[in-house]
A = this chain, B = another copy of it.
Amino acid sequence: MIDEISMEILKILQDKARIPNVEVSRQVGLAPSAVLERIRKMEKTGIIDGYEVRLNPERFSRSQISYIHITTRLHSSGKGTIGDQLAAIPEIQEVHFIAGEDGYLVKARTANTEELGDLLRNQIATIEGVIATRTTTVLHTYKETSRIPIR
Chain A positions 91-109 with a Cβ under 8 Å from a chain B Cβ: 91-101, 104-105, 109
CB <8 Å contact, B60 and A151 = yes
- Indicate whether A147 reaches chain B with its CB closer than 8 angstroms: yes
Closest to A7 in B: B60
Copies in the complex: 2
Chain B nearest CB, measured from A13 CB (Å): 5
Known: A59-B46, A149-B62, A149-B90. A105 touches B10 (CB 8 A): no
Please give, as numbers and ranges, the residues of chain B lying within 8 Å of A143 by CB-CB distance.
86-87, 92-95
Closest 7 CB pairs of A and B: A87-B143, A83-B142, A17-B51, A95-B142, A90-B149, A49-B54, A97-B140
Report which A residues bind B (CB closer than 8 A). 2, 10, 13-14, 16-18, 46-57, 59-60, 62, 65, 67, 81, 83-84, 86-87, 90-101, 104-105, 109, 136-151
